[in-house]
Chain A
Amino acid sequence: MAQGTAEPAIELAGVQHSYGTAPVLRGLDLSVQRGEIYALLGGNGAGKSTTLSALLGFIAPSSGSVRVCGIDPVSDPRGARAQMAYVPENVSLYDHLTARENIAYFLALAGHDTGASVIEPALGAVGLDSQAWDRRMSGFSKGMRQKVAIALALARDVPVLLLDEPTSGLDPRAVLEFNGLLDTARERQVAVLMVTHDLVSAVDIADRIGFLTAGRIEEEQQAGEGARFDLNALHDRYAGTGQAI
């Protein structure tokens, strides 16, 4: 597990946010270093996606501070977003475009190079069958769509990756391949914040696992040497969280 520089790439401190009168985040503290993979767990509706929205500057927390590579995403959303790649929960991309066109379009919007030398390695890395690269995405399965969204995030080549349930819809082999991609990202000193319900995958790949309950990180576990995490204990803990929500 490689630790990056002293300043964390992602940092939330005392973040509070409510939708209307319903509080979702209640003093959330969370930080991810460069070269670290952080798995954020929590029951449905716990506020995991909301946490990512705060990092992206989609919402402005009522109090607390949010920093991405030292940038406040509320006051400088463009600056912050230039540092992040994001795989949303349930993104469909465009059915009228091919996988390649989809990636090229969003890369162009990000002001990124859209050449084949950028797109093809990314599509290859996520394991999307090369025959599908130039097919319209209207015929794609959920897992294929997810792969394209991940390929887009990888192609951005930025220091921070925000992944909202990236392995949902992926078959076991694709999950293994995906974990391999995260390994590579860690080696390239990328900070990864991954929201997931996939405990097995999280145990496999994460450096730290955090449980989001009642709007704050209730418990955090650091990977140890050897066995890293105790899956059974985590499972009981996680199921307990689910009931609590």
Chain B
Amino acid sequence: MSSVGLIARDEWRALLRNRAGLLASGLLVLLVLVASFTSLERRVAIEADRERYQASVDEQFDQQPDRHPHRMVHYGQFVFRPIAPLAFFDTGVDSYTGNTIFLEGHRQNSANFAEARQSSLLMRFGQLTPAFVLQTLAPLLLIFLGFASISRERERGTLRLMAAQGVAARQVMQGKLLAHGVIALVIGLPAFLVLGGFAATGAASWAAVLPMIGGYAAWLLLWAVLGVILSAVLRRSRDVLAVLIGLWMVGVILLPRALPVAAEARTQLDTNIETEIALHREVAEIGDSHDPDDPYFNDFRQRVLDEYGVESVEDLPVQYAGLVSIEGERLTTGIYADAAERSRAREDAQNALVHDFSLISPLIAIRQLSMTLAGSDLAAHYDFLQQTEAFRYDFVQRLNRMQAELIPGIGGEDPRISAEYWQDIPRFHYQAPSPFDRPSDLIWPAAVLLGWLAALSVLAVWASRRLERNLR
């Protein structure tokens, strides 16, 4: 066997004979499995609830009696966003953004019932996901297993003894990198198997699962390689440990939390209340359809009368109030859409800033990659909001048209249309977006992770040269 192979094999033998290391590794594997299991359970439970609620909400909607269509506009519809299949692995922003939305006329409501807001302490324990274990805890284990890989040899004099047998420092480096690279992959293996199992049963696509496995493999390798390099460069094991823990605290704990805050400070997002106030003002400025002297709606009335070639609204074949509702909805929706667009642009700017910083903290890269592939990223949330808004507009305008077209034929003090019409109103069908719709959300993080690995490889070459010179 080559020296590299021998060194790697001895490193594994040392780990297998180290009870503390084995115990810690076993616990991590257990944690990944428990996280997968509980996360999956929770997903199944939420999905079951969602289906039940959706069914009962739909049924209630269908069972509405004969009514004036405008009453139905305000009765609205509840829609629930189904959870993406891989979201059990990485809940992403799902825990904050909410997955139900109430659709009604005149306004866009935000999604509600984010788990993080409603959950009890118990539920928050339930937030333990495989992604969290791999992103946050696995690096710690890899640090613990790898920090002394070379520095211990130096401290015990075995590095010199190896060199005296004709082993080059480069071979020591390669052997340790091989050993800890494999250890990193073995630690990721249970999670990879869970993902693979999901793909194999058809619950998720291989197209999403394979890059996910690749991304996490790169992330874990990165820590293994970093540990070995520092162990070669620094003289004392405890210094290596201190530096690695420091890097972990900054890169994994601090930066990913501090950066969004910094980004927020740079591009201030309006709070919901501010948005509401500003929007009310804008909507008020359009005009008041009930005010006979309002310039905008006077114009509108004239256009309608011209179009139908009649003299007064009473002569219209349709209900004028219905037409006003349609026009009002068109205008307010435009304003809301603009506001949503602006807010989204600001949020995108913030995210772009955070993306840039993933160069320093590859955790941001793996998080983005993982969430995107899991279908639990911000883009998927926005896509849901866009789909619901398109649906809402169509739903409200349908009812407004019913009002305009059907009410004149009914007349009376309390005009109602048949409940049968409610059944014809389409229901919301969510089209889950493909993670590959926004390739930049995948390519950029993948490039960052691979870039880090490439940079560390260069560093490893430098470190092994340095080690060769510093054998004494």
Closest A residue to B156 by beta carbon equals A92
Contact B10 A58 (CB under 8 A): no
Taking the closest CB of chain B, its distance from the CB of A156, in whole angstroms, is 8
Taking the closest CB of chain A, its distance from the CB of B352, in whole angstroms, is 49
Closest A residue to B160 by beta carbon equals A88
With most chain A CB atoms within 10 A of its CB, the pick from B17, B164, B166 is B164
A168 within 8 A of B: no
- With beta carbons under 8 angstroms apart, the residue of B1, B14, B157, B471 that contacts A108 is B1
Q: Which residues of chain B have C-beta atoms less than 8 A from A106's C-beta?
A: 161-162, 165
Chain A residues touching B, range? 20 to 34
Bound CA span A130–B402, Å:
99
Chain A 73-122 interface residues, beta-carbon cutoff 8 Å to B: 77-78, 81-82, 84-86, 88-94, 96-97, 105-111
Contact B14 A86 (CB under 8 A): no
A53 within 8 A of B: yes
Q: Which residues of chain A have C-beta atoms less than 8 A from B167's C-beta?
A: 109
Q: Report if A94-B14 is in contact (Cβ < 8 Å); known contacts: A58-B471, A110-B165, A111-B166.
A: yes
Taking the closest CB of chain B, its distance from the CB of A85, in whole angstroms, is 8
Q: Which residues of chain B have C-beta atoms less than 8 A from A58's C-beta?
A: 160, 163, 471-472
Contact B157 A88 (CB under 8 A): yes
Contact B166 A110 (CB under 8 A): yes
**Binary per-residue interface labels of chain B (137-175) against chain A in the complex, 1 for a CB within 8 Å, 0 otherwise:** 000000000000000000011101111111110000000
B281 within 8 A of A: no
Taking the closest CB of chain B, its distance from the CB of A95, in whole angstroms, is 9
B13 within 8 A of A: yes
A56 within 8 A of B: yes
Q: Report if A93-B158 is in contact (Cβ < 8 Å); known contacts: A81-B163, A105-B10.
A: yes
B18 within 8 A of A: yes
A59 within 8 A of B: yes
Taking the closest CB of chain A, its distance from the CB of B157, in whole angstroms, is 4
Q: Report if A59-B163 is in contact (Cβ < 8 Å); known contacts: A96-B18, A109-B6.
A: no
Contact B164 A84 (CB under 8 A): yes
B3 within 8 A of A: yes
Bound CA span A29–B151, Å:
34
Taking the closest CB of chain A, its distance from the CB of B216, in whole angstroms, is 30
Taking the closest CB of chain A, its distance from the CB of B444, in whole angstroms, is 43
Contact A91 B158 (CB under 8 A): yes
- With beta carbons under 8 angstroms apart, the residue of B14, B18, B162, B472 that contacts A109 is B162
Taking the closest CB of chain B, its distance from the CB of A113, in whole angstroms, is 13
Contact B157 A90 (CB under 8 A): yes
Taking the closest CB of chain B, its distance from the CB of A61, in whole angstroms, is 13
Taking the closest CB of chain A, its distance from the CB of B232, in whole angstroms, is 16
- With beta carbons under 8 angstroms apart, the residue of B1, B161, B166, B168 that contacts A88 is B161
> How many A-B contacts if CB must be within 8 Å?
71
With most chain B CB atoms within 10 A of its CB, the pick from A89, A109, A111 is A109
Q: Which residues of chain B have C-beta atoms less than 8 A from A110's C-beta?
A: 165-166
Q: Which residues of chain B have C-beta atoms less than 8 A from A90's C-beta?
A: 157
Bound CA span A106–B159, Å:
11
Chain B residues touching A, range? 20 to 34
Bound CA span A153–B417, Å:
101
Q: Which residues of chain B have C-beta atoms less than 8 A from A78's C-beta?
A: 166, 168
Q: Which residues of chain A have C-beta atoms less than 8 A from B168's C-beta?
A: 77-78
Bound CA span A86–B164, Å:
7
Q: Report if A109-B17 is in contact (Cβ < 8 Å); known contacts: A88-B157, A88-B161, A92-B157.
A: no
Bound CA span A77–B163, Å:
9
Contact A91 B157 (CB under 8 A): yes
Bound CA span A32–B316, Å:
120
Contact B158 A92 (CB under 8 A): yes
Taking the closest CB of chain A, its distance from the CB of B449, in whole angstroms, is 33
Contact B161 A91 (CB under 8 A): yes
**Binary per-residue interface labels of chain B (5-26) against chain A in the complex, 1 for a CB within 8 Å, 0 otherwise:** 0110010011001100000000
Contact A94 B160 (CB under 8 A): no
Q: Report if A96-B17 is in contact (Cβ < 8 Å); known contacts: A82-B166, A88-B160, A90-B157.
A: yes
Bound CA span A101–B49, Å:
60
Q: Which residues of chain B have C-beta atoms less than 8 A from A91's C-beta?
A: 156-158, 160-161
Q: Which residues of chain A have C-beta atoms less than 8 A from B157's C-beta?
A: 88-92
Q: Report if A56-B14 is in contact (Cβ < 8 Å); known contacts: A78-B168, A91-B156.
A: no
Taking the closest CB of chain A, its distance from the CB of B4, in whole angstroms, is 10
Closest B residue to A138 by beta carbon equals B17
Contact B164 A96 (CB under 8 A): no
With most chain A CB atoms within 10 A of its CB, the pick from B6, B160, B165 is B165
Bound CA span A2–B45, Å:
88
Q: Which residues of chain B have C-beta atoms less than 8 A from A96's C-beta?
A: 13-14, 17-18
Q: Which residues of chain A have C-beta atoms less than 8 A from B7's C-beta?
A: 109
Taking the closest CB of chain A, its distance from the CB of B281, in whole angstroms, is 73
Taking the closest CB of chain A, its distance from the CB of B88, in whole angstroms, is 39
Closest B residue to A56 by beta carbon equals B164
Taking the closest CB of chain A, its distance from the CB of B179, in whole angstroms, is 14
Taking the closest CB of chain B, its distance from the CB of A173, in whole angstroms, is 26
Bound CA span A77–B471, Å:
12
Q: Which residues of chain B have C-beta atoms less than 8 A from A93's C-beta?
A: 156, 158, 161
Closest A residue to B6 by beta carbon equals A108
Closest A residue to B470 by beta carbon equals A58
Contact A81 B166 (CB under 8 A): yes
Q: Which residues of A contact B (CB under 8 A)?
A: 53, 56, 58-59, 77-78, 81-82, 84-86, 88-94, 96-97, 105-111, 149
11 contacts between A and B (CB under 8 A): A58-B163, A81-B165, A86-B160, A94-B156, A94-B158, A97-B13, A106-B165, A109-B6, A109-B167, A110-B166, A149-B161
- 12 new A-B contacts, CB < 8 A, other than A81-B163, A96-B13, are A53-B471, A77-B168, A88-B157, A88-B160, A90-B157, A91-B160, A94-B156, A105-B6, A105-B10, A109-B3, A109-B7, A110-B166
- Which 4 residue pairs spanning A and B have beta carbons closest together? A110-B165, A86-B164, A91-B157, A109-B165
